Amino acid sequence: MLLIKTRFAKLHGLYLICVMAAKHTTNQFYDAVRKEHERLTRVKEYGVQKFSDEWIRHKLASAFFREVKTIEDIIFQRV
């Protein structure tokens, strides 16, 4: 297990465990956003995509409490 000293830890003589779980949780979040994006883009009506890409991004931003730009970054693998 990797230990990291932080400014707070240095002041109080404590060591904090590296947040490996945070990265795992973040990756799970990214996967959930991408999965929901894929599901919404697959919805078709009369043979065409029912929801516009812009609507989907705004819907995901609202559902996941993030900015549209953040959702775009996640979808297009820029994070």
Judged on CB neighbours under 10 Å (0-12, 13-18, 19+), 61 is: middle
Domain residue extents for the chain: 3-75
* pLDDT at residue 50, rounded to an integer: 97
Residue 1 has pLDDT above 50, yes or no: no
pTM of the model: 0.72
Q: pLDDT tens across 20-74, in order?
A: 567 999 999 999 999 999 999 999 999 999 999 999 999 999 999 999 999 999 9
Q: pLDDT tens across 9-20, in order?
A: 555 555 554 445
Two tokens at 12?
A: 């109080």
